[in-house]
Structure 1
Amino acid sequence: MKNIAHTLIRRGLNRVFPGGEGTSHPETDRVAAPPPVLVSGAVETPLVLASPHSGCFYPEAFVQNSRQPLHRLRSGEDSYVEELAAGAHALGPVLLSATFPRAFCDVNRAAWDLDPRMFDGPVPSFVKATHRGLSGLGSIPRIVADNRPIYHTRIPFMEAALRIRDYWMPYHATLAETLRLTHARHGICLLLDLHSMPDAPEAGSPDFVLGDGHGTSCDSRFVTTAEDTLTNLGYKTTRNNPYAGGYITRHYGRPREGLHALQIEIRRGLYMDEATRTKNQGFETLQHTLTTLTAQLLQSLSRRTMT
């Protein structure tokens, strides 16, 4: 499966770094920093688990240069999601997780979806901001919760380009290759893109939100299986409200090609105290829930491959 979008991103990086890969990242101690993405397991099943927003390695210089204290920078973090998926991972699916936080680099946005106003000079023509980017929530966010600005001053565009090269690209290169291998081996692939969310009273305070890009990124049979499984376990679910899926779901979900992507948002109050970011008594129950959900989806995938 071709990945034309990522080829264009590399071309943009080549324009920023015409001398090749020699430029180092000033904010990260490469001895102390973990790799940008961790991968556990192999493509033994047609299902892939991913947690793009649970990373909690904050480069010290980034924290020091921020206007916000660390606890506010962590407000958008999907804490412990990769741990919640441990039981599901034990059933055989490969598990990917980013180690860096979304406040530093958000891989669920297009690479060059950036607010030009956050930089201290002109930006290249390949920067194309969506309404999300212009609101401060692009691939290099300008704000955190409650519209609080992250930076004291505008930052050099080179800083954003370095993060795209050193964090965004490795995550997506790993994810794309994992999906390719899974599809090649099994003839079908389902990506569960796992996230957590605050309570959403505007949508009726669901426990889970299933995002399939309004029917464009995943076969409806898999979404129905997920919905029925969670409902039968006593959870309240919604589809695409208020989260229909971000860049990852929309970019990788190609049902006609046998590649399906489903974003799953989990209400944080089910498993942790949002104020203290500590696990609560529901953590283990939710682990079992994700394990049951994954088992049901694996059965659904098995039936699909036999038809």
Structure 2
Amino acid sequence: MKIRFGYVANALGLWDASPSKSLTFARYSALPENERMEKLIETTALNLNHTKRILYYNIAHEIPLYRFSSSLVPLATHPEVMWDYITPFKEQWQELGTIINQFNIRPSLHPGQFTLFTSPRNDVTDAAIKDMDYHYRMFEAMGVLDRGIINIHIGGAYGDKEAALCRFHENIKKLPHDIKESMTLENDDKTYNVEETLSVCEREKIPMIFDYHHYMANKTEDNIAQYLESIFKTWDHHQEVPKVHLSTPKSEQAYRSHADFVSFDFILPFIKLAKELNQDFDIMVEAKQKNLAMHKLVEDIAAIRGVKRVSSSTIEW
């Protein structure tokens, strides 16, 4: 069994390298009209350059997974802005894609909590489609659609989970087929548990990302062992191996919040269970200390007897 590791967005330790420099609509609106586009271009160019620096950090540290910031382009989907964020940066997007393909990096994106397909309001669904299109177009501009994934949650329950799930299956039909082919679904820490998310994924033929922390916060009556093999099978038609999210609670009082690092004791039962399936998979570390937490977790798992560390961020067991 081979496990590869990655982290989310920011490489801590790189000086001034945030890929999520922002430009709020209030600031944008306060600018003279002839300066607005200039500021959009300046902020986006900075985010793309910082992303390139982070990718080179990942290459130097043999990190094969990376989740891009969803905030690379400010105001990309704002209805009063809606600007062309592809053409002015055609070379920069292509350069990022060249790096990804040359060094076999697995890229992903994770739209925010308001990108959902269960709402009874058409404008919410339309906004979700627009946001998915934005994420898709970034991967398209990089030329990495064959390896990139766009991960979301099912959405809200709106007081009637059964009706909301029916709306999901209807609303997802409005999403262009090519974009749907790039998406994955993840179990929630509050609303849709592992069993419910798996059922949707199997029906829609969407790969499922298993989030262990969310599972622990929103357990089913059955043990996860009954679902994990089926979860991994949702990836059978995908060219990449299954993917798992790992994080640990910040505290008992803030159980759903992510801690700075990943507690080895917390995730060890899952690692042992996955070992029984002998299935290669990837782990995205979702911790406040980003790449530093990822490195620490790799060291912790590599210390298990029988585990072999084959690179900075890959182990075999």
- The TM-score normalised by the length of structure 1 is 0.30
